[in-house]
Homo-oligomer: A and B are copies of this chain.
Amino acid sequence: MTNAAYSLDPRLAADTLPVAEWPLCQVLLINDARFPWLVLVPRRAGASEIIDLAADDRRQLSAEIDRAAAALRRTVPCHKLNIGALGNVVAQLHVHVIARTRTDAVWPKPVWAQGTAESYDEADAADLIRRLTTFFAA
């Protein structure tokens, strides 16, 4: 942990579109139309590992992961949720929540480091974000 203020890692910022601000996390959509893929980033400066979060933050993170997963499953086709906290490339703590289908581009492999991201059409991204935020508000 550092004393610096929280700021989103620039690599996460570059790869994502903003979706929502939750009590603990920034909610981002990975700009890759191949997979409906959210990333949750706790606004805690210097955080890198889930087990180093304070207990209250840890509980809140679980709740926010579940909320993101439920939203994806209700909003897009989803045969399986994939949830992961890796951070080997970007150390800033971030949790992936991805809706997978048996016909997606790399099924059944994990999505990370597979092929090249395909940016959303602007209207498609806006529509998906609108549907997700409508679910969140319900």
Chain A residues packing against B (C-beta within 8 Å)? 48-51, 58-59, 62, 65-66, 69-70, 73, 80-89, 91, 100, 107-110, 112-113
Known: A50-B66, A58-B62, A109-B112. A84 touches B87 (CB 8 A): no
- In angstroms, Cα B65 to Cα A58, docked, is 12
Number of copies: 2
B83 and A108 within 8 A (CB): no
B81 and A84 within 8 A (CB): no
19 A-B pairs, CB-CB below 8 angstroms?
Answer: A49-B69, A49-B80, A50-B66, A50-B81, A51-B66, A51-B69, A51-B73, A51-B81, A58-B66, A59-B59, A62-B62, A80-B88, A82-B84, A84-B84, A84-B85, A84-B86, A84-B110, A109-B112, A110-B113
